[in-house]
Amino acid sequence: MASQTGAIVQSSLDALLEDKEFLSNLQNELREQAFTSLAAILSTPNHVHKSFLRVPLENGEVVRIPAFRIQHNNTLGPYKGGIRFHEMVNEEEVTNLAALMTLKNALHEVPFGGGKGGVIINPRKFSEKELLLICQKYVQYFSDVLGPDKDIPAPDVGTGDREMDWMMAEYKSIHPGKPYRGSFTGKSVLNGGSLGRREATGKGVYYTLRYMLYDFLKEQKKWLSDSGNIFAKTALAFEDDPLKIAVQGFGNVGSVAALEAYQCNHLQNKIVAVSDRNVTLYNSDGLDVPALVEYTASNNGDLPVTDEQLIEADVKAEIRDRNDVLYLDVDVMILAALEDVIHNENVEKVKAKIIVEGANAPVTGEADKSLNEKGVIIIPDILANAGGVIVSYFEWLQGRETQFYSEQEVFELLFNKMKSTMNMIFPQYFGDPFPLRQNCYIHAVMKLSTTLYRQGKLY
Ligand code: GLU
Give the tens place of pLDDT for each residue, 143-182.
999 999 999 999 999 999 999 999 999 999 999 999 999 9
pLDDT at 3: 58
Task: Please give the CATH number for the structural domain made up of 45-193.
Answer: 3.40.50.10860
Ligand 1 close to Cβ of residue 200 (< 6 A): no
Give the tens place of pLDDT for each residue, 53-90.
999 999 999 999 999 999 999 999 999 999 999 999 99
Please state, as a whole number, how many other Cβ atoms lie within 10 Å of the Cβ of residue 379: 25
Q: Which DSSP state fits 138?
A: H
DSSP states of 20-74: TTTTTT--HHHHHHHHHHHHHHHHS-SEEEEEEEEEE-TTS-EEEEEEEEEEEE-
Residue stretches of the annotated binding site for substrate: 80, 104, 392
Q: How far apart are CA 435 and CA 369, in angstroms?
A: 9
CA of 192 to the centre of ligand 1 (A): 17
CA distances from 56 to 23, 68, 126, 134 (A): 55, 19, 11, 9
Phi-psi region of 186 (alpha: psi -120 to 50; beta: other; left: phi over 0): left
Rounded to the nearest 10 degrees, the angle between the axes of helix 436-454 and helix 3-18 is: 70
Ligand 1 close to Cβ of residue 116 (< 6 A): no
CA of 32 to the centre of ligand 1 (A): 34
3-state DSSP assignment of residue 148 = coil
Give the tens place of pLDDT for each residue, 292-318.
999 999 999 999 999 999 999 999 999
1 pLDDT above the threshold of 50: no
pLDDT higher at 266 or 80: 80
pLDDT band for position 257 (50/70/90)?
very high
CA of 199 to the centre of ligand 1 (A): 12
Mean pLDDT of 366-375: 96
Residue of 392, 398, 440 to test ligand 1 pocket, by largest number of atoms within 8 Å of CB: 392
Percent of the chain topping pLDDT 70: 99
Can you name the residues that pair with 114 across neighbouring β-strands?
73
Ligand 1 close to Cβ of residue 197 (< 6 A): no
Active-site residue among 20, 50, 116, 137? 116
Ligand 1 atom nearest to 155, measured from its CA = 1
Ligand 1 atom nearest to 153, measured from its CA = 9
Closest CA to 63 of 74, 52, 49, 77: 52
Please state, as a whole number, how many other Cβ atoms lie within 10 Å of the Cβ of residue 128: 8
CA of 363 to the centre of ligand 1 (A): 18
Ligand 1 close to Cβ of residue 359 (< 6 A): no
Ligand 1 close to Cβ of residue 185 (< 6 A): yes
Q: Are 418 and 204 in contact (CB under 8 A)?
A: yes
Mean pLDDT of 225-232: 90
pLDDT band for position 238 (50/70/90)?
confident
Closest CA to 86 of 59, 112, 110, 117: 117
CA distances from 101 to 117, 201, 211, 455 (A): 11, 14, 23, 21
In the chain, where are the structural domains located? 15-44+423-428+435-459, 45-193, 198-387
pLDDT at 175: 98
Residue of minimum CA distance from atom 9 in ligand 1? 81
CA of 144 to the centre of ligand 1 (A): 21
Ligand 1 atom nearest to 152, measured from its CA = 9
Task: Please give the CATH number for the structural domain made up of 198-387.
Answer: 3.40.50.720
Residue of 80, 108, 156, 418 to test ligand 1 pocket, by largest number of atoms within 8 Å of CB: 156
Can you name the residues that pair with 272 across neighbouring β-strands?
none
DSSP states of 315-384: ---EEE-GGGGGGS--SEEEE-S-S--B-TTTGGG---SEEEE-SSS-B-HHHHHHHHHTT-EEE-HHHH
Closest CA to 75 of 36, 115, 35, 48: 115
> What does pLDDT average to over the chain?
96
Give 278's contacts (C-beta < 8 A, 6+ positions apart): 302, 303, 305, 322
Is 178 a residue of the active site?
no
Ligand 1 close to Cβ of residue 387 (< 6 A): no
Residue of minimum CA distance from atom 8 in ligand 1? 389
Ligand 1 atom nearest to 157, measured from its CA = 1
Ligand 1 close to Cβ of residue 4 (< 6 A): no
Common-topology check for domains 45-193 and 198-387 = yes
DSSP states of 402-452: T----HHHHHHHHHHHHHHHHHHHHHHHTTSSS-HHHHHHHHHHHHHHHHH
2 pLDDT above the threshold of 70: no
Q: How far apart are CA 45 and CA 26, in angstroms?
A: 25
Q: How far apart are CA 104 and CA 126, in angstroms?
A: 32
Give 281's contacts (C-beta < 8 A, 6+ positions apart): 273, 274, 275, 287, 292, 303, 304, 310, 315, 317, 318, 319, 320
336 pLDDT above the threshold of 50: yes
Q: What are phi and psi of 420, to 5 degrees?
A: -70, -30
Q: How far apart are CA 211 and CA 214, in angstroms?
A: 5
Closest CA to 131 of 52, 57, 69, 68: 57
pLDDT at 81: 98
Percent of the chain topping pLDDT 90: 94
242 pLDDT above the threshold of 90: no
